[in-house]
A = this chain, B = another copy of it.
Amino acid sequence: MDQGARQLMDDTWITKFRGLSRLPEDIRRALETGSEIISVPAGTQIFAPGQPADKLWLLLDGTVKVQQKSETGRDVFLYRVHAGESCVLTTANMLALEDHSAEGTAETAVRAVAIPRQTFDDLVARSPVFREFVFTAYSKRITDLFVLIDDIVFQRMDVRLAARLLELAGDGDTVRATHAVLGTELGTAREVISRTLSEFQRRNWIEQFRGGVRLTNREGLRHLAQSAASHS
């Protein structure tokens, strides 16, 4: 990328990250010149076990799905990194830590700022604001995992599926995902998804089509999703 175009984007991208907006001018410049903006198509492996990364990614556009590759062959969904968030797990690879078995894949086309190890280290040393940004990102992931564990242990599948459908639909009304994919998202079997979706359909909350679902009654789903732990 030529310097002109680069400069143009540099003026804007930092504002996408709340925690970085308070960076003093010199640090901001160091971050801009010491990093690069990269784009990868949907489906790209961002990181994977045994394939050490050496850059911290800050997502500008798109989403990255982080999954645990299980020995059994089945995968479990762990979390999703959205635009405006950083993929701190790559720092674990940067440390060449004992191999964790998580992998990150671009779900959509992804544009991101890649901060090389050296720049990262330099910024952590120099800037309290940058430090806070990084530690906050770590803490958020950890607490998200806490919530996930709580969900897995205590929440009923139908409640979790309803919530997930609403989340995946976003503003639209259709979710493109096979039953198998929804199964790994929630850490359950395809059959369970099929059965639960049939039930949702019977209640006229959704319509099913091959490879996806159309939400026809968000209220019904929302009501179930929010029933939380209060015994359906």
Once A146-B78, A149-B148 are accepted as A-B contacts, the answer to whether A92 and B139 lie under 8 Å apart by CB is yes
Interface residues on A, range: 35 or more
Which residues of A (20-78) have their CB < 8 Å from a CB of B? 68, 70-72, 74, 76, 78
User: Are B128 and A126 touching (Cβ within 8 A)?
Assistant: no
Nearest CB in chain B: distance from A98 CB, A: 8
| Of the residues B97, B101, B125, B135, contact of A146 by C-beta under 8 Å | B101
- Quick check: which of A150-158, A174-182, A211-219 contacts chain B, the rest being far away? A150-158
Nearest CB in chain B: distance from A163 CB, A: 15
CB-CB nearest in chain B for A127: B125
CB-CB nearest in chain B for A228: B71
Give Cα distance in the complex from A152 to B128, angstroms.
Answer: 38
Q: Which residues of chain B are near A126, meaning CB under 8 Å? A: 125
Q: Which residues of chain B are near A70, meaning CB under 8 Å? A: 150, 153-154, 229
Q: Which residues of chain B are near A154, meaning CB under 8 Å? A: 70, 72, 74, 76
**How does the 8 Å CB contact mask read for A66-109 relative to B, with 1 for contact and 0 for none?**
00101110101010000000000101100101101110000000
CB of A192 within 8 A of chain B?
Answer: no
Determine how many copies of this chain the complex contains: 2
Which residues of A (98-144) have their CB < 8 Å from a CB of B? 98, 100-102, 121, 124-126, 128, 131-132, 135-136, 138-143
Q: Which residues of chain B are near A145, meaning CB under 8 Å? A: 142, 145-146, 149
CB of A220 within 8 A of chain B?
Answer: no
Q: A76-B150, A124-B124 are known contacts; what are 16 more A-B pairs with Cβ within 8 Å?
A: A70-B153, A71-B228, A71-B229, A74-B154, A78-B149, A89-B139, A92-B142, A95-B135, A95-B136, A97-B139, A98-B143, A100-B139, A101-B146, A121-B131, A138-B142, A142-B145
Residues of A within 8 A of B (CB): 68, 70-72, 74, 76, 78, 89, 91-92, 95, 97-98, 100-102, 121, 124-126, 128, 131-132, 135-136, 138-143, 145-146, 148-150, 152-154, 187, 228-229
**Closest CB pairs A-B (n = 5):** A92-B139, A100-B143, A153-B187, A72-B229, A145-B145
